[in-house]
Amino acid sequence: MNIISSVLNTSLNYFFNLTGDWGIAIILLTLLVRTLLLPMSMKQKLSMQQQQSLSKKIEELKEKYKNNKEKLESELQKHYQQSAKSMLGCLVSFLQLPIIFTLYSVILKMPVHTGTIIIPWVTSIKLADSYFVLPILYALATLSPNLLSYFSFLKVSSYNNMPKSTLILTSIFSILITIKIPIAVGIYLITTSLFSLMEEIAFRLYLKNRSLSY
């Protein structure tokens, strides 16, 4: 963890020396880390998608062979083996969590008290946003991936629309957790949420193109 923290600190200072702005430096560092972790993240999404498909197939098999237990057991065994392989892909993605948490910690512990051109109305990125612009932006950025299914060209059959009550609760929770946090952390959270949005769009387009090729 100390090695990861040291690398992230060095990278953050490098981006600051390059740009002269801590806010921009945080954005660049966050984008760099998320880009490096992108293969694992996409593998996780693919594994989850395979898990959903396998679950549907298993339910269909149970209905199809409900009167033939031996055949059902044989078919289920094959699908359970595939399911176990898909779960390994999900477990690999957890390797990215320590890196993300360390990045969060590095930004939270920044020993600087200066503003950023990105948010000109604040004097220090260690303070909370008194105008609540960042909490609202973070809530919108967090919600955006869940709204993609409402666009026909991004809708994937295996994805279900999130209930409106859940969307509202997610918005409220996102605002509450960012009201008092330092702006430096808010910039990180918004950047990583927008990156996740782009990642989700790319993954959905990949799934749609793959289904068309079959």
Q: Answer yes or no: are the C-beta atoms of 125 and 112 closer than 8 Å.
A: yes
Percent of the chain with pLDDT over 90: 30
Domain ranges for the chain = 2-213
Q: Which two tokens stand for residue 57?
A: 């197939």
The answer to whether residue 2 scores a pLDDT higher than 90 is no
- Rounded to an integer, the average pLDDT of 75-88 is 59
The answer to whether residue 207 scores a pLDDT higher than 90 is no
DSSP assignment of 18-47 equals HHS-HHHHHHHHHHHHHHHTHHHHHHHHHH
Of the pLDDT bands very low, low, confident and very high (cuts 50, 70, 90), residue 166 is: confident
Most confident of 83-87, 95-99, 103-107, 121-125: 121-125
Sign for the pseudo-dihedral over CA of 155, 206, 212, 61: negative
Q: Answer yes or no: are the C-beta atoms of 144 and 196 closer than 8 Å.
A: no
Report the pLDDT value the prediction gives residue 84, as an integer from 0 to 100: 55
pTM greater than 0.85 (yes/no) = no
Cα–Cα distance list, 212 to 40, 138, 153, 202 (Å): 25, 34, 13, 15
Of the pLDDT bands very low, low, confident and very high (cuts 50, 70, 90), residue 192 is: very high
Report the pLDDT value the prediction gives residue 186, as an integer from 0 to 100: 92
Report the pLDDT value the prediction gives residue 28, as an integer from 0 to 100: 96
